[in-house]
Amino acid sequence: MIKEYLKLSRSFNVGLTALAPVLGAFCNGESSALYLFLFFLVGFFGHCYGFALNDIIDYKVDSLSHELKERPLVSGEIKMRSAWIFTFLMLFISLSIGFLISYLYSNFISISILVLSAISITIYDLISKKFPAMDIFVALGIFLLIFYGAYTVSNDIKEITWIVAILGTLQVLFMQFIAGGLKDAEHDYKAKANTLAIKLGVRVEKKIFIPFSFKFLAYLLQIIYLFFIFYPFYKIFEDALIQLIILSILSILMLYISYKLLSIKKFVRDEVRKYIGAHYYINFSLVPIMLTAINPFIFLLAFVPPLAFIISNIAIHGSMLPKTM
């Protein structure tokens, strides 16, 4: 049964959300491993809340897809009432740890930012299939989560913190608009969901059709993202040649994987998942690598999202890629 709740929580990508407040706090001056771990827990349980609620709200749409038959609500492994209890429990734990952190820092204003982040994620879950481009609420939720971590530590927000918050937002926009739009295109198209991908013309019938407008958006988001990745090396960091070389290689590889993803002609969900997984590994390692210019040990955070991704998938599915992304 624990395995089913891990599926409900989409534990395979929990590393991204959990690190959001950690990166905010770190960039704004926090170095205590204990305090950073508490921020990690806030993001971890907040992630579980958001995705569990998403599965509850999207239950009817998900039921239309044979590919999603293993999702716990669709399969019946978790009953709706139990899912609701779990969802609110995750929210309660996240906010409770947030209050504890506020007490430790004597900063109770920051908890309001955490609440706004939860509200933003909730709005997305409620209306994501009804109106296009509602993924901006997920991106806003992550932005606020990063800002929450930073503001809790100090209300004097550093330039690098704003840059990391923008990067986190762009990461989510790509994963939601592009990766999410493509992986869900088949059942979203059948259900006539009002997602941005469908509105821009993505179609899945015998083959998948990906219009130029959708591809343009995908590359635009990544170009802006890479601008903010390299900008600190011009404005803030010095003597960071090694980081520049590594980031340049990974950036080229990430763009190539995007090209392969956007060039598929036939919708094979396993193939789409492989490209998304590879993009995920690279994309979510770039920010920690960039931040090694501040502290070399922050590089270890680059392994958190991929490790969470791999460990979760092996525990749940027996493979490195999930069956129910």
Say how many residues make up the chain.
325
Nearest partner of 208 among 254, 262, 278, 256, judged by Cα: 262
At 36-93, the pLDDT tens digits run: 999 999 999 999 999 999 989 887 777 766 666 778 887 888 899 999 999 999 999 9
pLDDT over 90 (residue 119):
yes
What is the pLDDT at residue 305? 74
Give the pLDDT mean for 230-242.
Answer: 89
pLDDT confidence tier of residue 321, bands split at 50, 70 and 90: low
Of residues 321 and 87, more confidently modeled: 87
Of residues 304 and 288, more confidently modeled: 288
The structure tokens listed for 183 are 């992986």
Which domains can be identified in the chain, with CATH numbers? 2-317 (1.10.357.140)
At 121-174, the pLDDT tens digits run: 999 989 877 787 888 999 999 999 999 999 999 999 999 999 999 999 999 999
Q: If residue 100 lies in a helix (H) or strand (E), which one and from where to where?
A: helix 80-105
150, 151, 153, 157: CA torsion to nearest 10: 70
pLDDT over 70 (residue 219):
yes
What is the pLDDT at residue 7? 78
At 274-303, the pLDDT tens digits run: 888 889 888 888 999 999 998 888 888 877
Give just the sign of the alpha carbon dihedral 80, 7, 98, 147: negative
CA–CA gap between residue 279 and residue 265 (Å, rounded): 19
At 172-193, the pLDDT tens digits run: 999 888 988 887 777 777 767 7
Give the pLDDT mean for 250-276.
Answer: 88
Residues 6+ apart with CB under 8 A from 97: 38, 41, 42, 45
Is the Cβ–Cβ distance between 181 and 134 less than 8 Å? no
3-state SS, residue 70: coil
Phi, psi (rounded to 5 degrees) for 209: -115, 120
